[in-house]
Each structure stands twice: as C-alpha cells, then as structure tokens.
Amino acid sequence: MINDNDIERMMQPDPVDEQRGWKFITMDDMPENVRACRLASLKHDREHQSNCPSCLDNYAENTLMDAAWWREEADHDPAPYPDGTRRTPEQCAAELEAEAGELRAKAAKIRAARLTERT
C-alpha cells in the first residue's frame, strides 16, 4: 500500500528506492521503442502488440509464467475444452508453453525480416 512518504518520494526529481533497487521514470525518460510499447499497452493497441517483437516476447514470458502456475500451483482444473472434455492443469500448461513458443518464433521472424530490410 502506498503511504504519504511513498508519494512524497515519487514527487522528488529522479528518486531512487535504495531498499528495492528501482527508480521512478517518466515516459519522456524511456527510450523511444520502450515508450511506444508502453503506450500501445496502455491503449490496448493490438496492431502494435501483434507486430512488435518486444511486445511479443513480453507476452510470451507472461504466458510461460501462466504455464508455470498451472503446472506448479493450480488447485483446480481449467475450463473444459469447447466440446466439454475435461482439461487438466498439465494440459493447460503444455498448451500455454506451445503458445509461448509460437509467440517467440513470430518475434524472431519479425526481427529477421527487419534486419533483412536494413541490409
């Protein structure tokens, strides 16, 4: 929970949180490509997110975390398949890992195409 001291620290120029090892930055302090991804995230710009290698890699990483949760911590079954067949947490984790692999492959393909365009 944020208290008054936290808010006061946030208002200071270029504050650094020594205990946690991070600092607050503004959108203007971000590199242009990071700023574009952050703005796309805030605006739910699916066009950008589906064609940006950084966004795709980030989504793949989140998908892998979801897969790990289903595999290691799930205390219930996920929703069944559309035909009503039971789906286990292990199946869900495997599907999410496959999806993450596809996202990373798509990001790599986009990066390769951009590199080819530059040369």
**What are the extents of the domains in the chain?**
52-118
Amino acid found at 57 = D
Count other Cβ atoms within 10 Å, centred on residue 60: 21
- pLDDT tens digit sequence for 38-78: 889 889 999 999 999 999 999 999 999 999 999 999 999 99
Nearest to 103 by CA among 56, 45, 46, 36: 56
Return the SS3 of 75.
coil
Percent of the chain with pLDDT over 90: 61
Nearest to 79 by CA among 102, 95, 99: 95
What secondary structure letter does DSSP report for 28? G
Q: Mean pLDDT lowest for which of 16-20, 42-46, 96-100, 112-116?
A: 16-20
The span from the CA of 68 to the CA of 106, in Å, is: 21
Whether the full predicted model's pTM is greater than 0.75, yes or no, is: no
Sign, Cα dihedral of 20, 23, 24, 30: negative
Q: What is the pLDDT of residue 61?
A: 96
Ordered alpha helix ranges (H), the chain: 4-11, 32-43, 46-51, 53-72, 89-118
What secondary structure letter does DSSP report for 17? E
What's the mean pLDDT in 10-14?
56
CB-CB contact of 71 with 95 (8 Å): no
Q: What is the pLDDT of residue 6?
A: 63
